[in-house]
Amino acid sequence: MRSFRSFRSSPTASGVDRPLVSQRNRSVPTTSAFSRRSRVTVTAATGLASVLALGTLVVVPATAATPVAEPPAAALLAPYYTDLDLTGDRQVTTADLELLASHLGDTSASAEWSTVAAADTNGDKTITATDIAALSQRMIYDDGEFELIEASTIDMQAAMNAGVLTSVELTQDYIDRIAAYDKATPDASAVGRALNSIITVNKQALTAAAAADAERASKGMTSMLLGIPIAVKDNYDTKDMPTTGGCGCWNDNQTTTDAAMVAGLRNAGAVILAKASLDEFAFGFASEFSSYQPAGTSTLVASPYNLSRTAGGSSGGTGASIAANLAGIGFGTDTGGSIRIPSTYNQLVGIRPTVGLASRDGIIPLALSQDTGGPIARSVTDAAVALDAVTGVDAADPVTSEQTGKVPESYTSSLDPEALKGKRIGYVTTMIGTNPTNVRLWNQAKATLEAQGATVVAVEQTPAFKRVLDEGSGSTNEFKHDLNEYIAKHLAPNVAARSLQGIVDSGTYVPSRKSTYTSRDAITEAQYQAWAGPAGTHTTQIATGQALVTKMMDDLDLDSLVYPSGTPYNTQSTNMRLSPNTGMPAISVPMGQAIAADNTITGAGVNLEFLGRDYAEGTIIGLAYAFEQATHYRTTPALYGPLG
């Protein structure tokens, strides 16, 4: 694509002028994503004259190849980047600019006014150069220098649309960072260790990236995930990499199909870059794994902010790799906190969706009563973009049928910086805890919520609410049953360890887990049914918890409940159980870091979690986005800057 630039001066701090259309680091009302991919065709643009804009020149290419969409099946981008679309492809491209420029000077009395009226941004009933300049700001396009560190999906797509970057180059950059950083020990501390966040790098990643580049060249940007490199936790089946579950016993588990969520990502044009490390079979928060290691040995994942500390778990590798900028976006799984704990430890955004929003088929299970997959990202925008790609009803996971009619066209439409205004946000007082960092950050967060227009409501804990938090994880009574179902349906036939006893017999697992696997193997089918069957105690308690918390929110007219996701490198009591013990969705977003005066762990991050009603992901995404935009608490790990 030839550069479409407006040369109006936009002075930077250094005094160097940048083109108006260059958007990096520009604040916008919302960010956006495709919720579906659309077919497009390419047509030659008509020759157009340059027009005077604000005392400078707007240049429109005379022979650019401009994608023009066929009738789209669904909205492709959230409002900021779509509501001025003139050409029907539900995004703003050079085709829209060319069309508007051809109507320069038209007024509301002109015969074709309806064609361009939407772009009359100042409402003066005349198409002027000011309107063309305003429209250019709605393009995902940036021909400035691309910076990989902390780059968002918007940044990546803008650079690729401008021809500054290709997906192949982007993917290679992340591969290079993994090679340089993942096994290195940049911390001079004697107790500091390597990140150990990646188990496998996809040998087909560059091929997939080249295919994405070819699609962009022929059809334009067909998805906000087109060409974006993604790391998935190594319990998601991938047809081009083994799925080990973090266990050396399953090193050879090369499945022939993708997990349903991975298939959704590929369908959206994403590049599956790597498999991230995890706590073996997703059991705990340590993120200790044995994949591709000698029998009797294991490795721990580290937080990129403090290499002597865990990255949390069980999706610790996803958390560490995304925080250290080793991939664009990550995916984890969450049974009792395994997306949100790595998010709070690593200053990231994590979404645990409603159980039923995304299919779990092809994911190694821990406890299907509570298991769900979701994104881990550096921003709420990226998390919303990623979530759009993985929703959908799947007959292989019947609970997904519950989402019918409850999923918006795109979760990015909820990205409103004023979403907190007029909302009622509740917090259960006992969930704040007494940790000095948490108390300080909560008071700060509460003030921010109120400053953004929310009413914050204190809620006293009742005995019934406490029972919701006290309900245990399903992993004890469900793991054997659910794992056996995965083994029967998905495990590669050449894998010898085909039961919990077989895993123990293999000798290739995290050494400390033997007693856990032995005890889980002793669970009978009767015990499983009494716990997780249709009338099981756990099944009943989750339903009771969902009804109780929903009624509490309804009675108090609350839009969300909030609470700390953890403490500095630890959990906060039973807070992480509220979402899995009700099945309700939650999003975790940075709310600051510990300081020396707290006398905790200086620099450690702590997140604020927003819980919503079933299938109200859009609501809590909007609330979290507004909080994020008002605070910008995420920091970049100092040890993992640009490669030299």
Burial 294-327 (b: 16+ CB within 10 A, else e): eeeebbbbbbbbbbebbbbbbbbbbbbbbbbbbb
Mean pLDDT on 242-268: 98
Residue 333 carries which DSSP code? E
The second-level CATH assignment, the architecture, of 167-473+534-631 is Alpha-Beta Complex (3.90)
> Which tens digit of pLDDT belongs to each residue from 9-18?
222 232 222 2
**Rounded to an integer, what distance in angstroms lies between the CA atom of residue 474 and that of residue 482?**
11
**Rounded to an integer, what distance in angstroms lies between the CA atom of residue 571 and that of residue 473?**
15
DSSP E strands: which ranges in 267-402? 271-276, 288-289, 299-300, 302-303, 306-310, 329-334, 349-352, 372-377
Mean pLDDT on 580-590: 98
Asked whether the predicted pLDDT for residue 570 surpasses 60, the reply is: yes
Q: Is 152 a catalytic residue?
A: no
pLDDT at position 498, please? 98
- Give the residue among 558, 371, 574, 379 at the shortest CA–CA distance from 472: 574
pLDDT tier, 271 (very low <50, low <70, confident <90, very high otherwise): very high
| pLDDT-above-70 percentage for the chain | 88
pLDDT tier, 78 (very low <50, low <70, confident <90, very high otherwise): low
DSSP letters, 281-306, are: GG--SS-EE-TTS-TT--EE-EETTE
pLDDT at position 83, please? 86
Which of 223, 277, 298, 314 is an active site residue? 314
> Which tens digit of pLDDT belongs to each residue from 457-466?
999 999 999 9
Asked if 86 and 100 touch (Cβ cutoff 8 Å), the reply is yes
> Which tens digit of pLDDT belongs to each residue from 130-151?
999 999 989 999 999 999 999 9
Asked whether the predicted pLDDT for residue 316 surpasses 90, the reply is: yes
Mean pLDDT on 484-508: 98
Residue 275 carries which DSSP code? E
pLDDT at position 77, please? 61
Amino acid at 85: D
Asked whether the predicted pLDDT for residue 1 surpasses 50, the reply is: no
pLDDT at position 14, please? 29
Which of 136, 233, 321, 410 is an active site residue? 233
The residues facing 373 across adjacent strands are: 333
Asked whether the predicted pLDDT for residue 125 surpasses 50, the reply is: yes
**Rounded to an integer, what distance in angstroms lies between the CA atom of residue 334 and that of residue 351?**
9
405 class by beta-carbon count within 10 Å (0-12 exposed, 13-18 middle, 19+ buried): exposed
pLDDT tier, 81 (very low <50, low <70, confident <90, very high otherwise): confident
Residue 473 carries which DSSP code? P
pLDDT at position 283, please? 95
Helix count (H) and strand count (E) of the chain?
18, 19
Neighbours of 25 (CB within 10 A): 10
Q: Is 233 a catalytic residue?
A: yes
391 class by beta-carbon count within 10 Å (0-12 exposed, 13-18 middle, 19+ buried): buried
**Mean per-residue pLDDT over the chain, rounded:** 89
Kindly list the domain boundaries of the chain, sorted by start residue: 1-144, 167-473+534-631
Which of 321, 338, 343, 369 is an active site residue? 338
Residue 384 carries which DSSP code? H
pLDDT at position 75, please? 42
**Which of 188-202, 226-240, 241-255 has the least mean pLDDT?**
188-202
CA atoms within 13 A on the CB side of 586: 34
Asked whether the predicted pLDDT for residue 70 surpasses 90, the reply is: no
Q: Is 338 a catalytic residue?
A: yes
**Which of 126-140, 424-438, 609-623 has the least mean pLDDT?**
126-140
Asked whether the predicted pLDDT for residue 39 surpasses 60, the reply is: no
**Which of 2-6, 244-248, 368-372 has the least mean pLDDT?**
2-6
Mean pLDDT on 567-573: 97
Mean pLDDT on 184-208: 91
pLDDT tier, 186 (very low <50, low <70, confident <90, very high otherwise): confident
pLDDT at position 644, please? 82
Contacts of 453 (CB under 8 A, 6+ apart): 418, 420, 421, 422, 423
pTM equals: 0.90
CA 326 to the chain's CA centroid: 14
pLDDT at position 188, please? 72
**Omega cis (within 30) before 573:** no
> Which tens digit of pLDDT belongs to each residue from 161-174?
999 999 999 999 99
